[in-house]
Amino acid sequence: MSSHLFQPIRLRGLTLDNRIMVSPMCQYSAVDGCATDWHLMHLGQFAVSGAGLVMVEMTDVEPRGRITPYCLGLYSDANEQALKRVVDFCKRHGHARIGIQLAHAGRKASTLPPWEGRRLLRPEEGGWEPVAPSAVASGAGAAVPRALTLDEIGQIRDAFVSATQRAARIGFDAIELHCAHGYLLHQFLSPLSNHRTDRYGGSLENRMRFPLEVFAAMRAAWPEDKPLGVRVSATDWAEGGWSLPDTLAFARALKALGCDWIDVSSGGLVKNQVIETYPGYQVPFAEAVRQATGLTTIAIGMITEPRHAEAIVAHGQADMVALARGMLYDPRWAWHAAAELGATVYYPNQYLRCRPWVRHDTFAEREAARAEEFHLPAVFKQPE
């Protein structure tokens, strides 16, 4: 029986070779929001990894939306030019499709990178004032952000649209809107962080309003044949916070606006969250979204074993899986998963010699099959 994990999947006009996504992973290695050689190396290795989709890290739509001064941005011509260099490199040498996650950190902005302790970076140290739906800190010792005005909310929506247009010019295949992990759009969704009394706060409908406005504006600016998905935190893991029923309502509203997938994560909003983690601990959330809405879902969270990933897709718990730390530890995870599951996966010509040998299968036969599957020229001909 063929592997479910290695079956193609179609999202609008985009067809992925398989159901494996490299998750967006912050690298804290940009300069003034511009991608560097680190990104060229980091993303380039995943472009040839055999994964169907590689998602560029959380990329911020304005300077004050960065988590740290070293976060990637897409708010200037310089940002666009630097990122296009990386994407062009990945597409020239790799076979994976390339997406980008667009975001705004909100009250989680202006900190040092994790290896420097994530402490708040004050304006006199090169930091800036964080903004949020309400002047509510995420916990003890965290910054108290400034509440956004209505005019600023509109400006941030426009910044998402501008970044979407830049992503289209760069040549990205897909976009994921970040509404999770305690960043700005998640802050609007949760009653723990949104205490507004205007049309953007209070009821669930009002709290969903701004994220939905952003999504609709991005969808209108993004090419019709290219997919646009959303990452959500299914629960805040905290009393009185955002919950799975809220997530299902949000997903249904997104579906009505043309959302192409929901990437289901959890947590990240408050410091007092209580999470019991284990391999696949977030998969039931993805399954719930898939069953309730019919949307394509992506499962994430401590998925590291090929047969576990295969089971998630085969049993209908999610349509795809995404790996982050697992890919950092093993950038060739998709190759190794394909070998274990008896599937075919893309290898660049330069690495063909490392492919596992298949019994009763000649090199020429394997390469002819590879050429047919990936629509490549047949380098090695079958004997007459």
Residues carrying an active site annotation: 183
What SS3 class is residue 176? strand
Alpha-helical segments (H) within 267-383 = 283-293, 306-314, 325-329, 333-341, 363-373
Tokens of 112: 């040092």
Tokens of 72: 């990637």
- Nearest Cα to Cα of residue 165 among 229, 80, 89, 104: 80
Distance CA 255, CA 249 (A): 10
Contact 266, 282 (CB under 8 A): yes
What SS3 class is residue 276? coil
Distance CA 197, CA 80 (A): 37
Contact 309, 321 (CB under 8 A): yes
Tokens of 30: 């940009």
Distance CA 81, CA 35 (A): 9
Contact 288, 248 (CB under 8 A): yes
Helix (H) or strand (E) holding 213: helix 204-221
- Nearest Cα to Cα of residue 175 among 249, 309, 294, 83: 83
Contacts of 117 (CB under 8 A, 6+ apart): none
